[in-house]
Amino acid sequence: MITGLGLGITASANFTTAVSEERTAITLTNVGTQFTTNAYFGSHSAEFDRTQSDYLVLEGNNESVDFSGDFTIEAFVFPTNTSTNNKLFDLRGIHSNHTGGGDGTVSLGSTLLIDNNSGSFRCFVDGGDKATLTSGEFSLNTWSHVAIQRQSGTINAWVDGTRAVNYSGSDDYSAVFSKNMPIGMGASSSSLAQQYGGRFDEIRISTVARYTNGSSITVPTSAFENDADTYCLFHLDNVFTDDIS
């Protein structure tokens, strides 16, 4: 259950070029997902039914964006399935066989993979699961905040404000973010696999560490807002549009 209150901390931007007043929107391609009025913030969220071919594809960046340093990936999730390997974010790219812009994959050893494994949070970094929490991080039919960030070379991840990962990893993820990547399914298989069952709300990727690494963070209490440190932001309020306002 989510019990935290407050907002995260915003630091300086990590763009290699000057940030304009309006950044370039990132495309989120919908492949079969539906909207539901069950949302954590706003009017709607995106619903993933594992019995259908549904997932999202986040396009690779089309700006000169530096992901060699700090960054944050976060969202609110509502699992409705207790199967193993329910992929949330799979940053290995996406297999070229898939609809939505598959342009190949990168190896597991140089990227991030985040999933719900029968209720347990898993975060693969450098080819192995670095999660220290082992069971019960996700409750069925309950909203949870998930955040993964790198700050000064150390990757932390939290579920509902409680730290699940504390790992030093200094890989340059710029090449990873240059590829299209799936949300809600596994990337590497040529067929649909490891699909997420549940809902997503408020997906945000930032080019800074939004929080201070530590044993806990405060869970946001309002919808995210676009700012100079936002790489992409999807409220999923009945549209799959990046909020660049």
Mean pLDDT, the chain, as a whole number?
82
Whether 157 is covered by a domain: the verdict is yes
* Domains: count for the chain: 1
Asked if 26 and 61 touch (Cβ cutoff 8 Å), the reply is yes
Q: What is the pTM of this model?
A: 0.85
Whether 49 is covered by a domain: the verdict is yes
Whether 64 is covered by a domain: the verdict is yes
E-state strands within the chain: 28-31, 34-36, 45-48, 55-58, 71-79, 86-90, 93-94, 104-105, 112-117, 120-125, 128-129, 144-151, 154-159, 162-168, 181-183, 198-206, 230-234
Whether 181 is covered by a domain: the verdict is yes
Whether 164 is covered by a domain: the verdict is yes
Q: What is the mean pLDDT of residues 3-29?
A: 50
Whether 145 is covered by a domain: the verdict is yes
Task: Give the highest mean pLDDT range of 15-29, 76-90, 110-124, 154-168.
Answer: 154-168
Tell me, what CATH number does 228's domain have? Answer: 2.60.120.200
Between these two residues, 217 and 89, which has the higher pLDDT value? 217
The one-character DSSP state at 100 is T
Whether 230 is covered by a domain: the verdict is yes
Q: What is the pLDDT of residues 154-199, one digit of tens each?
A: 999 999 999 999 999 767 788 778 878 888 876 655 566 788 889 9
pLDDT at 80 exceeding the cut of 50 = yes
Q: What is the pLDDT of residues 96-116, one digit of tens each?
A: 766 666 666 656 555 788 888
Domain holding 65, by residue range, is 28-234
Whether 8 is covered by a domain: the verdict is no
Beta bridge partners of 230: 206
What is the reported pLDDT for 5?
A: 31
